[in-house]
Chain A
């Protein structure tokens, strides 16, 4: 068990990434009850937006200084795509049966993936993402890569900002009202269309930040990266209680840690040698999801219905 701190650190970093993406699923679901399956692709486009900015910068530009610019680039791209998707793909279907926008989301996801594949230069294979040089930092018995500190800092900051926004600002409270009862909210003078666009935009921005973290963590971005990450983040959102923003982050971290521990230790459990390791980590992650949903169908933090936004 001597690598336990390391495995926990691996899980936390992965979980922070899942959590940031899961915010987008959960906010959109909380307000319009739509599972935006194209969200994984919006995450991917954020990664390519950040990559584009880093390619524009001159050689020798410090990566630390480039990161804010890359975030801005990524956020602009994914917010643009996310809000455009809302306006042109989902809004026309807003009174339609639930399944219609769901299928649209899947179609949109394929469209976005293929668009990047086709038109982004050399995106037919994985592209390298800038990375910090230097040795990992040793803290609490774990080696943490320099690039991973981005996620460790960004995830709590984003959560704080989101909590403040949802609870303290006018639009944030409007968002809560729309989530509780869109019709009444409209009667109270809330521009629900604007609120919905905001929910998509915030989700997309968080996804872009997660994508920068993904790039720094894995050293590459690819047109296919949104599929698996989106699926995992959706799982995290359900695990934490879909519709609850804190639940999304909690679900992400639980999922990430569960995956890391399953990879690291499941094979050591007597009788489970066959079911351990990297190949089975997804099985254990989903087994955990099923278990949580059996015991708490609303998810880990699902009871705070009034808070969902």
Chain B
């Protein structure tokens, strides 16, 4: 009996493993096939959480990337090249992201990847992409160490992976900007600090703390929460007794919304402030007491940029889901890959080079164009040269922009 169940188990596992392998290599044999009109098809990979509680952000990103690909195909941006988007879902989990990275690498048509949303997921993708010379551009990863290494705090910056680029500014810049806004513009001197212990949240909170105390503000207490929790009553009860004038939260909107609501319910009528992970349209929807809360985001408000008008119109025509925080940045990230392909093709007498991945990667540092969020180009770390930051405040249950500046990191 025992042996038989072991046998069955092994069979099931083997079959399962085989099926999974089959999924991964489905597209492998097709190669760079011509599709009728003598066009070469290249695939741009895309990775973000398309399911789970961060899917609102992820789906907005996918739609924007798809729109960039469609636009390039329609306008024939790169002669003789037809772009295709392959979106994968990482469920906001590093392990799934790692598997997706392997899928992209093994598909020879993929010449670049846009994504992911989460810095922690990115950490599981950077190394494999680096080894495969596959360009990766994230519109949302703000973890400073992703580009500059763990030494950034002490000024010892070192580029980590030659294949990693981003159109988002770093947590360092964003945390500093938030601290400065809160201290100088909102005139708040005492802050309670909470983070969710993830790469993004903890980095943001740390950067905020340094700048805020430097400016002369006081951190009256700090706590960490689990991003899966929805009950923060015991934390908010604690905040009330500290005399804090605001709470800064390093984390994302699914936990930030109940945190903000329970903060106000606890009787401490003070605003919650967070970064771009909190500045989602979902935040004021999930939280009836969001009025007066602050958020920061990377880039100028997309709705107000003249360069973004066309993008917004096209987006709203084609998709019913909101583009959310990273729509414009994702469009630009995807477009940066398209531009890099164009440069590579131009250098190769109008044909896609055989070592496309290497050539696209080499072209990335030369990419420069006016995108949806402003001028797009990358510095020697792979970071965006655009440090435009915007502070928002919830008014009438909606995020409204308050203040934008091209922030100079301290």
Chain A residues close to B by CB (< 8 Å): 2-3, 6-7, 10-11, 13-14, 117, 124-126, 128, 131, 136, 143, 145, 217-220, 222, 224-225, 228, 259-260, 263-264, 267, 276-282
Contact = CB atoms under 8 A, between A and B. Distances in A.
Given A117-B51, A136-B267, A279-B197, A126 B254 contact: yes
A13 B237 CA distance: 14
28 contacts: A2-B241, A3-B240, A6-B240, A7-B234, A13-B233, A125-B53, A126-B230, A126-B286, A128-B286, A131-B288, A145-B265, A218-B258, A219-B261, A220-B230, A220-B286, A224-B53, A224-B228, A228-B228, A260-B234, A263-B234, A263-B235, A263-B238, A264-B234, A276-B223, A277-B225, A278-B223, A278-B225, A279-B225
Contact of A11 (B53, B234, B257): B234
3 closest residue pairs by CB, A with B: A279-B224, A263-B234, A278-B225
A281 B241 CA distance: 19
Nearest to B254: A126
Majority SS at the chain B contact face = mixed
Nearest to B230: A218
A224 B227 CA distance: 12
Given A117-B51, A125-B53, A143-B267, A219 B288 contact: yes
B214 interface: no
A267 B224 CA distance: 11
B229 interface: yes
A304 B11 CA distance: 45
B90 to A, nearest CB: 15
B153 interface: no
Contacts of A228: 228-229
Interface string B223-252: 111101111111101101100000000000
A58 to B, nearest CB: 20
Contact of A225 (B225, B230, B234, B240): B230
Contacts of A263: 223, 234-235, 238
A125 B233 contact: no
B241 A282 contact: no
Contacts of A131: 288
Nearest to B287: A219
A277 B223 contact: yes
A80 B11 CA distance: 35
Contacts of B108: none
Contact of B226 (A2, A224, A282): A282
Contacts of A278: 194, 223-226, 229, 232, 234-235
A222 B53 contact: yes
Contact of B257 (A220, A260, A276): A220
A130 to B, nearest CB: 10
Contacts of B237: 3, 6-7, 10, 264
Contacts of B257: 126, 220
B249 to A, nearest CB: 12
Given A11-B234, A131-B288, A228-B229, 18 more contacts: A2-B241, A3-B237, A3-B238, A7-B234, A13-B233, A14-B231, A14-B233, A126-B53, A126-B257, A128-B286, A219-B287, A222-B53, A263-B235, A263-B238, A278-B226, A278-B232, A278-B234, A279-B223
A259 to B, nearest CB: 7
Given A10-B237, A124-B52, A218-B231, A277 B286 contact: no
B71 interface: no
B55 A124 contact: yes
Given A143-B266, A219-B286, A125 B261 contact: no
B282 interface: yes
Contact of B233 (A10, A117, A225): A10
Of the listed residues B226, B233, B240, B257, the one surrounded by the most CB atoms of chain A closer than 10 A to its CB is B233
A217 B231 contact: yes
A166 to B, nearest CB: 30
A290 to B, nearest CB: 20
A128 B254 CA distance: 11
A246 B174 CA distance: 51
A217 to B, nearest CB: 7
B238 A264 contact: yes
Contacts of A276: 223
Interface in B186-240: 194, 197, 222-226, 228-235, 237-238, 240
Of the listed residues A14, A260, A278, A280, the one surrounded by the most CB atoms of chain B closer than 10 A to its CB is A278
Interface in B18-74: 51-53, 55-56
A282 to B, nearest CB: 7
A267 B192 CA distance: 15
Nearest to A100: B5
B158 interface: no
A286 to B, nearest CB: 13
A193 B1 CA distance: 28
Of the listed residues A7, A125, A263, the one surrounded by the most CB atoms of chain B closer than 10 A to its CB is A125
Of the listed residues A11, A131, A136, A277, the one surrounded by the most CB atoms of chain B closer than 10 A to its CB is A277
B52 A10 contact: no
Contacts of A220: 230, 257-258, 286
B230 A10 contact: no
A224 B52 CA distance: 8
Contacts of A225: 230
